[in-house]
Structure 1
Amino acid sequence: MNLIRYNEKDLPMKELETIGLAEKGQLLINVNDLKALLSGRRTGLLNLKNLEAENIKIKALDAKISLQPAGNGKTELLVHPIYRKPATPDFLEDFEAKELEKGEVASLLKVTKDRKGDTKEVLVEYDPETREFIISDTEKVMAPDMINGEKLTPAQKENYRKGKEVALTDDTKLNYSGKDVNGIRSNKLALIASIIIDGGISYMLYTGLNAMFGEKHDETTAKSLSKGYYNTVLEMEDQRPDFSDNLRKAKPVISR
């Protein structure tokens, strides 16, 4: 789960306008890409225009973008282009890199050292769209306290941080993915993750979720959302009365 790390007012609008992703102060990207940006994740592939890098001008290219703190209270735009050849992390064996590149495994857990020489566990994934290895520090992955109102056990939270499958009693299955635009993959098209902060509950609605690794969405199952999901929607409405106009229009099937 990724809470919102940035505010829309902190977006580098001039840079976004320059590369064709905003116009007259209005963003020209979809809601999921915006949510990914504000959560500190990468967007999906976008068509960028008028790029300059190392005295080279690029008229247009497809790339993903993300944000990082600029150190002066502002945010900096990062561009993740499509690489000709992936740069393999030095802690990966050749056969492990090939397994990821060929899509034989979804991810690998590896133990490595940071710049200070301290040991850390990382989740390694491969993004075939940009030909890039995506590395997530498992200690920094925030596991939700609840999904669709169901509390996760300590073991489920640990599995989530490590990119492993988490199965709930309402038939929802999910896992964390650092390369996915939503940060979560699921057998359902939508779910609500909750985290408890200072005694209060923060909610994150995920829609249009991608299927889990090696699987395809079963149309009926994916659209069938549980009572726990809809009860959590009501809790969100209590906090934000204007929240669910769009949700009420969709009316998926309640599974239990």
Structure 2
Amino acid sequence: MKNILIEEALPIAALSSLGLYDGARYLLDETDLSALLSGRRTSLVNLQNLVSESFTIDSLDAKLSLNTDANSLHEIRLHPIYREPKRSPDLLDIEADELISGEVKNIAKPINFPDGSTKTIVFEYDSETREFISYDPIGVEIPLQINGEQLDEKKKKDFAMGRIVQLTDGTMIQHRASEAQGILASRTALILTVLKEGATTSFLMKNLAPIMDVSIHKDPFSAGFESAFLEMKKTDGSISDELLQQRELEEFKSEYTRGYGRSVSR
């Protein structure tokens, strides 16, 4: 959800070597670009004709992420599909097995670091690449509002820890580091409000992956979503007339619901 200038953040040479930049534009969809800029992993991307000093690969399916360490110069990391789960030394076998089976979605536990510090780290399992991933909840960017609802301190903490958070409109959300969009939900569309350059800005997130195997809400929209959508249009100044704002909402709902019904079943 962080908004970083693409030109400053993405290494063009590395992406060109992967066939993901053609000299004029990035050959990644908007969701994957946003994932990279936000410090998350992309969805699986097919890479072809990879050549280096030590290997040549005709075709590889992998997720991408940015190594944004202070000394890394924004290197691209590849996360290929492993034949067997790549075990984490920080997880007990029983914990790893629970994540692999899907019995639990994440595990938070204190980890001791070489400098003597101890931090609570959240672990997830990416079933697509068969890899365990981890994140520091302190680094999670937490929305100020979702569907127009201000998140209180408990909900903010729960969101950062990867716990399920329920809004007053019934919508359930969960932060998920292994998801390209970074969030799962019981509805497929949300309005998120974040702080950007000292001011609040709202944006639409759609085609969200379900928070559970079967979505809780068949209707992708709640009353809170509709109010937040209209407020977003009013605030950004794109449509000043309230009747036109309402019409755009209805048109969006109609078009989105048709595509939603064709592409997924809940």
**C-alpha spacing 1:247/1:82, structure 2 compared with 1 (3 Å):** farther
Is 1:164 matched with 2:166?
no
Select the residue among 213, 223, 227 that pairs with 1:215: 213
Residue 128 of structure 1, CA deviation: 0.9
- The alignment of Structure 1 onto Structure 2 pairs a total of residues equal to 248
* Counterpart-to-counterpart distance in 2, 1:190 and 1:208: 6
The 8 Å contact of residues 229 and 249 in structure 2, kept in 1 or not, is answered as no
Structure 2 partner of 1:187:
186
Structure 2 partner of 1:250:
252
The normalised TM-score by structure 2 is 0.82
* Counterpart-to-counterpart distance in 1, 2:49 and 2:69: 22
Write the deviation string for residues 219-249 of structure 1: whole angstroms up to 9, x where unpaired: 73224563333234224523x67xx9x9775
RMSD over aligned CA atoms reads 2.8
**C-alpha spacing 1:61/1:78, structure 2 compared with 1 (3 Å):** same
Aligned to 2:34, what secondary structure does the other structure show?
helix
Q: How does 1:140-159 map to 2 (within 5 A)?
A: 140-159=139-158
Structure 2 partner of 1:69:
68
Write the deviation string for residues 43-69 of structure 1: whole angstroms up to 9, x where unpaired: 000001232456111121000011233
* Counterpart-to-counterpart distance in 1, 2:70 and 2:141: 23
Residue 102 of structure 1, CA deviation: 1.2
**C-alpha spacing 1:74/1:234, structure 2 compared with 1 (3 Å):** same
Structure 2 partner of 1:123:
122
Residue 72 of structure 1, CA deviation: 7.2
Aligned to 1:115, what secondary structure does the other structure show?
coil
* Counterpart-to-counterpart distance in 1, 2:94 and 2:19: 40
Structure 2 partner of 1:87:
86
Residue 176 of structure 1, CA deviation: 0.4
* Counterpart-to-counterpart distance in 1, 2:75 and 2:154: 36
The 8 Å contact of residues 192 and 204 in structure 1, kept in 2 or not, is answered as yes
Aligned to 2:28, what secondary structure does the other structure show?
coil
Write the deviation string for residues 126-173 of structure 1: whole angstroms up to 9, x where unpaired: 001111001011121122121122101101111101111111122221
Q: How does 1:27-38 map to 2 (within 5 A)?
A: 27-38=26-37
* Counterpart-to-counterpart distance in 2, 1:15 and 1:251: 39
**C-alpha spacing 1:71/1:91, structure 2 compared with 1 (3 Å):** closer
The 8 Å contact of residues 99 and 125 in structure 2, kept in 1 or not, is answered as yes
The 8 Å contact of residues 186 and 217 in structure 2, kept in 1 or not, is answered as no
Ranges in structure 1 where 5+ consecutive residues have no aligned partner: none
The normalised TM-score by structure 1 is 0.85
The structure richer in helix per residue is 2
The 8 Å contact of residues 21 and 27 in structure 2, kept in 1 or not, is answered as yes
The 8 Å contact of residues 223 and 252 in structure 1, kept in 2 or not, is answered as no
Structure 2 partner of 1:201:
200
Residue 74 of structure 1, CA deviation: 4.5
Ranges in structure 2 where 5+ consecutive residues have no aligned partner: 240-244, 256-266
**C-alpha spacing 1:139/1:153, structure 2 compared with 1 (3 Å):** same
Q: Which amino acid aligns with 2:213?
A: E
Structure 2 partner of 1:15:
14
The 8 Å contact of residues 3 and 204 in structure 1, kept in 2 or not, is answered as no
Q: Which amino acid aligns with 1:216?
A: V
Identical counterparts, % of pairs:
35
Which segment is superposed worse, 4-13 or 98-107? 4-13
Residue 190 of structure 1, CA deviation: 1.4
The 8 Å contact of residues 150 and 228 in structure 1, kept in 2 or not, is answered as no
